[in-house]
Amino acid sequence: MSDITKNPINRREALKRTALLLGGVVSAPTALGFLNGCSANAKAEGFQLLNEEQAKLVTTVSDIIIPTTDTPGAAEVGVPTYIDDMVMNMWGEEDQEQFLANLNDFTQRAKREIGTAFNDASLEQQTEFVNAEHDRVFSGDVDWDAPRPFIWQMKELTISGYFSTEVGMTQVLQYIQVPGRFDACLPFEEAGGRVWAFNM
């Protein structure tokens, strides 16, 4: 194996270089996206994979998927860095690249739809766009075999991240470390009226 396939950093560098070399061939928005996405090497503070712009977008989208209500939302409980961590450390290189490409695609679509960069839009515009993306993918017949677009990946990651936090498990769902007894059968309301977070 060459260094390029073995080392993710080198591979990313190489892809970036390829994109620049192919600048004339790649369509303008894609090239722009690539530059937006990849040329800013500096990671956002607290993030391992995402740069400032990407982190900001992921934070906003996750917080639209699970917003603050009477309980904290996704951003407040650390879901954005969870997503960054999972994609960086748990996903294979190809899936990682795909996630970034999907993020880029989402950015392009947002710009076309909203007329301004997603990160510069108002929360209202952002929410409207995220909902539209969600409906586009999930309303009607869902294609379970198709490659999963950004909104699908974000929905999954946000849910798995949020409900693996103390807030998600104890304030939204319910969890008790030491139940102290086992009641085999009782009405849902008497069992706390919420779904058990840790249902082994």
List residues near other proteins by CB under 8 A. 64-67, 69, 71, 82, 85-86, 89-90, 92, 127, 130-131, 134, 138, 142, 152, 155-156, 159-160, 163-166, 168-169, 172-173, 175, 177-188, 190-200
Q: Which is closer to other proteins, CB of 19 or CB of 121? A: 121
CA–CA separation, 167 and 71 (whole Å): 8
The least CB distance from residue 129 to other proteins, in Å, is: 12
Query: Tokens 């998600």 — which residue?
Result: 168
Q: Which is closer to other proteins, CB of 33 or CB of 168? A: 168
What is the distance in angstroms between the CA of the first residue and the CA of the last residue of the chain?
Answer: 42
β-bridge partners, 196:
174
Q: At what angle do helices 8-21 and 93-114 cross, to 10 degrees?
A: 40
Q: Positive or negative, the Cα torsion across 193, 159, 137, 144?
A: negative
Q: Which is closer to other proteins, CB of 32 or CB of 86? A: 86
The least CB distance from residue 171 to other proteins, in Å, is: 9
Q: Which is closer to other proteins, CB of 42 or CB of 200? A: 200
In one letter, which amino acid is 97?
E
The least CB distance from residue 140 to other proteins, in Å, is: 10
Query: Tokens 């102290």 — which residue?
Result: 180
The least CB distance from residue 34 to other proteins, in Å, is: 26
Q: Which is closer to other proteins, CB of 27 or CB of 139? A: 139
The least CB distance from residue 120 to other proteins, in Å, is: 22
- The residue among 28, 23, 52 whose CA lies nearest residue 38 is 52
